[in-house]
Structure 1
Amino acid sequence: MKKTAATYFPQIVDIYAAADTIKQVTGETPLQQSIRYSKKYDANILLKREDLQRVRSYKIRGAFNKISSLTKEELKNGVVCASAGNHAQGVAFACNYLGVEGTIYMPAVTPKQKIDQTKMFGGDWIKVVLEGDTFDDSQKAARLFCDSHHKTFVHPFDDVKTIEGQATIGLELLNQSEEPIDYVFVAVGGGGLASGLCGTFQALSPKTKIIGIEPEGAPSMKTAIEKGELVELSQIDKFIDGAAVQKVGQYTFPICKDHLYKMETVPEGKVCQTILDLYNRDAIVVEPAGALTISALDDFKDEIKGKTVVCIVSGSNNDITRTAEIKERALLYGNLKHYFIIRFPQRPGALKEFVADILGPDDDITHFEYSKKSSRENAPAVVGIELKSSEDLKPLIQRMKSNNFFGDYLNNKPDLFQYLV
């Protein structure tokens, strides 16, 4: 009987079969207790380290399971996929391992690190095509190429074999945890992993609550669940590229709608702070999507107290060139980085006066753009200031105004602010 999006739900027998298929290429990733987060939330916080997979994300599970299920004729014709990075690497590895030709479409904005890794894993068996600004743009181009060349499309989330491959994480969790699992936090992009976990836990641990977490700037699943139907977001924030899609899947949407305990969103800036904390305090390198689940714990701190909670750390394919942007977004979220238009009097010593009398002792100028273009009494400059404490902002603005330096505050003006960040 053909599985349709309206009736499909991952069955445990198929999930066990997927586990048997993928065991030749995937290792059982560690389930580690986080002492720091456990103490912070007075709970047993466990991190499922899918960032330690051989392709540094869980995506190899679904990609390998799907490609392994194809007929000899389909394998001979080759496969096509679209991905922001992690699924691409899983497909590339599978193509190289199984000797299958693959064409991989990636958004043009994909970090170079992920593109290079994809090419490395795929070797001579794959070709990378950069197309569009989002995953959805890449997917449309990939579908056209796939249909015109009679190849098989390997979907990153909206395919039963992909879903069942991702679901194998749940089998490992239940085998590894010494205590019953009360909550599992899972990042949601298209919903493949979340859907798979719903299948595993409904069969083997139905009391476990699965909570899906999306970026605040790309709430495709949350929006669809609230509206009760699939929706395509007209615009998304692409920063958390591993979980930023405009439209979730036809298979994954009804599963998540009916079986997730909750869907929540997390601000991108908070995710950035989590990335920095994990690196600086735990020596764990994660990509933005990999930090989503941990970033959501604050929103459930009362509910999870005393419980056993698993956060799936979904991947670690982070590009070091993004570090400056990650730090910037974290500071902005923490209300520690602020941009102003400052009106400097056209007289000698004005800048010295601003630094000595206006800035606080712990304030730091991190951005300064000034150009004298007229002989007017005051000349504007765009100034970025980093504070030690968010409480220092109000006194700073008061000193600016009382000394006639204040021109405008730019953080709450998105049309102007986007050019600075």
Structure 2
Amino acid sequence: MNPNDALTPKGKGLEDIPYFPQIADIRKAAETIRQVAEVTPLVSSIRLSKLYGANILLKREDLHRVRSYKIRGAFNKISSLSKEEMDRGVVCASAGNHAQGVAFACNHLGIQGTVFMPSVTPKQKIEQTQMFGGENVQIVLEGDTYDDASNAANQFCKAHGKTFVHPFDDPKTIEGQATVGLEIVEQEKETIDYLFVAVGGGGLASGLCGVFKALSPQTKIIGVEPEGAPAMVTSMKMGVNTELNQIDKFVDGAAVKKVGDLAFSICSKNLYDMVTVAEGKVCQTILDLYNRDAIVVEPAGALTIAVLDRFAEEIKGKNVVCILSGSNNDITRTPEIKERALLYAKLKHYFIVRFPQRPGALKQFVAEILGPDDDITHFEYSKKSSKENAPAIVGIELKSPDDLQPLIQRMKSKGFFGDYLNDKPDLFQYLV
């Protein structure tokens, strides 16, 4: 998606938001969350370090009891409320990870919470949220995106006089997330040259800017968004916090239409770079981390690893930290993850194949059209007429992207070729 094709500029300019996270407040937040969040490991990745010729360290935020860093901001914010506010109860909107942090905090503190989640939230995240919240939390599924759920949550808050616990655009939330950076600085005694962080609403990135500006100003912080939801990248280009009209919701933990106003003001002035990564590449990274490192991450948790090859020359010989932000991945998504990875690598291709209406046509296709390493992974055929040729939708997995054009030429020369679907997104989504 071209970000400039889906913009609705709105929001505040930089001069309107003076807030910047202070190290004293972040240290205070660290004391607050210590009762529910243990210090997560900062470990060296032998595979990635060897691959990039750098010292690649992974900050394992996926190892929290709620499997993401979001517990930090949620607990810090809720703990800061007055007794009256706690008695009235809290409300949040989340694609899953913040919801679990809020649910855990509500149960731990004995207060009532209402959690609004998009209807497309993976089932695993919904079940985990209910488990952590128990009888203290009610879950409401609303809309198709985080932004839809957020609008509904804010309306509910106003109607019932409850406190909204924002997942990223609140000073107390930002200061709680910032404790990730405080731990990194304390754990790594050598200078950190580069720090990669996933950006959804921008709360974690904003908190890191506060920590590293105070304690390690030479560290270059690089934010990473999914290509299908480039809210921060777009806003930086526009010079104003900008809402996207549509997004790809696959990287659910980092797919927002609009970043926080506080986050935009902080990140636009303090990030070294802000980039996007294709969803298909994120999927391949998820598979690599699982197969090669026995690490389970959700799509947002893989963003910082997926982008490393773009900075391969720059980070060579450097000390690099990648934050693995979460591991709330539903195993039922694995087929889609593999599919997206193959499509991105140009190894999976879909065609409309016109089979002649005669015996042996399929056998000829397998024997004469497919290459020795090609594999049919999808076949959908329905004869609805007496025409000479009947179409079928065929998915073929190749061993190499270079095998595509020879395959198409063989189909055309033998009269089987109907159409190529990969480069026709509307038709592809409708048929496959």
TM range (shorter): over 0.9
Q: What is the deviation of 1:417?
A: 1.0
Q: What is the deviation of 1:5?
A: 6.0
Secondary structure, in 3 states, of the residue corresponding to 2:394?
strand
| Residue 397 of structure 2 is aligned to residue 386 of structure 1 | yes
| Residue 112 of structure 2 is aligned to residue 101 of structure 1 | yes
| Residue 391 of structure 2 is aligned to residue 407 of structure 1 | no
Cα RMSD between the aligned structures? 0.9
| Residue 47 of structure 2 is aligned to residue 47 of structure 1 | no
Tell me the residue number matched to 1:131. 142
Tell me the residue number matched to 2:192. 181
Secondary structure, in 3 states, of the residue corresponding to 2:125?
helix
Secondary structure, in 3 states, of the residue corresponding to 1:251?
helix
1:173-212 alignment to 2 at 5 Å?
A: 173-212=184-223
Q: State how far apart, in whole Å, the 1-side matches of 2:77 and 2:55 are.
A: 34
Contact 1:5-1:250 within 8 A present in 2 as well = no
Q: What is the deviation of 1:379?
A: 1.0
Aligned residues: 418
| Residue 101 of structure 2 is aligned to residue 90 of structure 1 | yes
Moved more, 316-325 or 172-181: 172-181
Amino acid at match of 1:151: K
| Residue 154 of structure 2 is aligned to residue 143 of structure 1 | yes
Q: What is the deviation of 1:131?
A: 0.3
Contact 1:6-1:254 within 8 A present in 2 as well = yes
The C-alpha deviation readout for 1:332-366, integer Å capped at 9, x for no partner, is 00000000011111111000000011001111111
Q: TM-score, normalised by structure 1?
A: 0.98
1:224-373 alignment to 2 at 5 Å?
A: 224-373=235-384
Q: State how far apart, in whole Å, the 2-side matches of 1:224 and 1:36 are.
A: 35
Q: What is the deviation of 1:388?
A: 1.1
Q: What is the deviation of 1:250?
A: 1.1
**Structure 1: where are the runs of 5+ without partners?**
none
Amino acid at match of 2:303: L
Q: State how far apart, in whole Å, the 1-side matches of 2:180 and 2:382 are.
A: 57
Q: What is the deviation of 1:78?
A: 0.4
| Residue 178 of structure 2 is aligned to residue 164 of structure 1 | no
Q: State how far apart, in whole Å, the 2-side matches of 1:419 and 1:303 are.
A: 42
Alignment equivalent of 1:75, drawn from 86, 90, 108: 86
Q: What is the deviation of 1:419?
A: 2.9
Secondary structure, in 3 states, of the residue corresponding to 1:373?
coil
Change (3 A) 1:195 1:420: farther
Q: State how far apart, in whole Å, the 2-side matches of 1:322 and 1:5 are.
A: 41
Q: What is the deviation of 1:420?
A: 4.8
Q: State how far apart, in whole Å, the 2-side matches of 1:195 and 1:86 are.
A: 18
Tell me the residue number matched to 2:4. none
Q: State how far apart, in whole Å, the 1-side matches of 2:205 and 2:153 are.
A: 24
Moved more, 175-184 or 266-275: 175-184
Tell me the residue number matched to 1:155. 166
The C-alpha deviation readout for 1:167-209, integer Å capped at 9, x for no partner, is 0011100111131100100000000000000000000000001
Q: State how far apart, in whole Å, the 2-side matches of 1:386 and 1:218 are.
A: 28
Alignment equivalent of 1:220, drawn from 206, 210, 231: 231
Secondary structure, in 3 states, of the residue corresponding to 1:279?
helix
Alignment equivalent of 1:36, drawn from 47, 50, 68: 47
| Residue 374 of structure 2 is aligned to residue 374 of structure 1 | no
Structure 1 runs of 4+ off > 4 angstroms?
none
Amino acid at match of 2:292: R
Tell me the residue number matched to 2:36. 25
Q: State how far apart, in whole Å, the 1-side matches of 2:403 and 2:431 are.
A: 22
Q: State how far apart, in whole Å, the 1-side matches of 2:139 and 2:189 are.
A: 43
Secondary structure, in 3 states, of the residue corresponding to 1:185?
strand
The C-alpha deviation readout for 1:263-316, integer Å capped at 9, x for no partner, is 000000000000000001110000000000000001110110110110000000
Q: State how far apart, in whole Å, the 1-side matches of 2:145 and 2:305 are.
A: 25
**Structure 2: where are the runs of 5+ without partners?**
1-14
Amino acid at match of 1:355: V
Q: State how far apart, in whole Å, the 2-side matches of 1:417 and 1:165 are.
A: 43
The C-alpha deviation readout for 1:354-407, integer Å capped at 9, x for no partner, is 001100111111111111122221111110001111111111111111111111
Secondary structure, in 3 states, of the residue corresponding to 1:348?
coil
Q: State how far apart, in whole Å, the 2-side matches of 1:371 and 1:331 are.
A: 26
Change (3 A) 1:291 1:420: farther
Q: State how far apart, in whole Å, the 2-side matches of 1:215 and 1:334 are.
A: 17
Secondary structure, in 3 states, of the residue corresponding to 1:293?
helix
Change (3 A) 1:130 1:325: same
The C-alpha deviation readout for 1:105-154, integer Å capped at 9, x for no partner, is 00000000000000000011000000000000000000000011000000
